[in-house]
Amino acid sequence: MIHSISKPINQIQRNLINHFVKIHEHSKDYHSFGAKRPKTQTNHENPQKRRPKRSPPFVAAMRGIHDPDEALSLFHEYYQMGYKHDYPSFSSLIYKLAKSRNFEAVETLLGVLQNLNIPCKETLFCALFQHYGKAHLSGKAVELFRKMPCFNCVCTVQSLNSVLNVLVDNDRFGDAKEIFDKSKEMGFRPNTVTFNVMIKGLLNGAEFDEACNMFDEMLERNVEPSVVTYNSFISFLCKKGEVEKAKKLFEDMVKKGKYPNAVTYALLMEGLCSLGEYKEAKKLMFDMEYKGCKTKVINFGVLMSYLGKKGEIEEAKSLLSEMKKRRFKADVVIYNILVNYLCKESKVQEAYKVLIDMQVKGCEPNAATYRMMVDGFCNVGDFEGALKVLNVMLKSRHCPRSETFCRLVAGLLQCGKVDDACFVLEEMEKRKISIDLEVWGDLIRDAYSGVGDTNEHLTQIILGN
């Protein structure tokens, strides 16, 4: 776990804040930093011959930076050189900070934007809502949603939908309903996406009848249901094992002119697989194109997941071959299905070959791919193999969960690989990933168990954390 979701302000941030305060004290109407550049002459050439619009220098420089502290430092350096920071500069920095969950710095910069009266775009706030939601700070998202008018920002139903979705995904449907009920007096007109989010929330809480009432309200307000609306109900029914009811809803959907998509068929296929009707699900996938819906990778994924759960890995591989014959390019989700179930079957070396194969085929592994591989090697006691994958994972700017780090450290200590264990702990420290005291105690005991006096460096790292 991270020490604190809202990280403390460091010295660079303090310097920035001091500069912002001084600027604001000198002029409340000042909207940018640095000396103004002379106006360039207007280009009267043929518009078709004009060069494409380039990103501002600071924004362009930010693209290659992944460390939030480095991004803050660069922002400060540009300011000192007299660079005119405007909304694109602030927003690019805020995106970086929010992604790293440095919300204290984010809120500081938002305060500067508000004080300098710099108009903000709605997309910035919608992105921040999502980052708050991922950090389980949905209350912060609601607070920012209510403050949006203070940022010279035009609020549309997109903001409403975004904050409702964050609340629903954080199991706060009651708060979402309260905002939804007041949406009209707030100046919003709920659209299809709004109702889809609310229906999703009700179905997540197994409130099927209430979800049906919400659907009726949707029709009463002349809001047109979409395929996503129907997919939500079909998904719920299939998960409950009521596939026949889902099929009837599917037929009703088609009668009303709403054409099912690949996701609709995938949901029905999952329902059939949950009842053990694999052949029927496979037939449905091959029949869907005759019904006007093109097969997608997600449909193959449903069948492969079922086979993986059954331990029929070779059959799952044959589906991958079938995909290649039909010129479907497997994505990271498809490869992850194979990696996951091969690791669960303790066939880690075979899973590693899949990892290499996907890279050769031009498919980039994601955090889940690496995490499953590291855990897979740990499960079979191959901690050197796990460390090898971890190194590649970190270089790819992905990071394991705290539990994976702990397991790897413990395994390396048991093997007497103290230096490697120190390396892993140092990587944790760099990423501000902490472990609870009980786990630290276990690691210290392992450090003193059978590794002699070589553990002084390790102990220092552990105690330092």
pLDDT digits (tens, 9 = 90+) for 164-177: 999 999 999 999 99
Average pLDDT rounded to a whole number, residues 335-342? 94
* Higher pLDDT, residue 79 or 378: 378
What CA–CA distance (Å, rounded) separates 141 from 126? 9
Q: Are 169 and 130 in contact (CB under 8 A)?
A: no
Closest among 272, 317, 282, 331 to 303, alpha carbons compared: 282
Give residue for tokens 């989700």: 333
pLDDT band at 81 (very low <50, low <70, confident <90, very high): confident
pLDDT at 365 over 60: yes
Predicted TM-score of the model (pTM) = 0.77
What CA–CA distance (Å, rounded) separates 211 from 189? 19
pLDDT band at 35 (very low <50, low <70, confident <90, very high): very low
Closest among 363, 325, 327, 362 to 337, alpha carbons compared: 363
The number of CA neighbours under 13 Å toward the Cβ of 8 is 4
pLDDT at 6 over 50: no
pLDDT band at 31 (very low <50, low <70, confident <90, very high): very low
Give 334-358 as a DSSP string. Answer: HHHHHHHHHHHTT-HHHHHHHHHHH
The residue extents of the domains of the chain are 1-28+66-118, 329-383, 401-465
Q: Are 71 and 97 in contact (CB under 8 A)?
A: yes
pLDDT at 277 over 90: yes
pLDDT at 14: 54
What CA–CA distance (Å, rounded) separates 241 from 274? 7
* Higher pLDDT, residue 30 or 264: 264
3-state SS of 199-262? HHHHHHCCCHHHHHHHHHHHHHCCCCCCHHHHHHHHHHHHHCCCHHHHHHHHHHHHHCCCCCCH
pLDDT at 429 over 90: no
pLDDT over 70, % of the chain = 81
Q: Are 98 and 131 in contact (CB under 8 A)?
A: yes
* Higher pLDDT, residue 460 or 179: 179
Residues 6+ apart with CB under 8 A from 367: 393, 398, 399
pLDDT at 1 over 50: no
Reduced to 3 states, what is the DSSP secondary structure of residue 153?
coil
In this structure, of 125-134, 198-207, 318-327, 347-356, the range with the lowest mean pLDDT score is 318-327
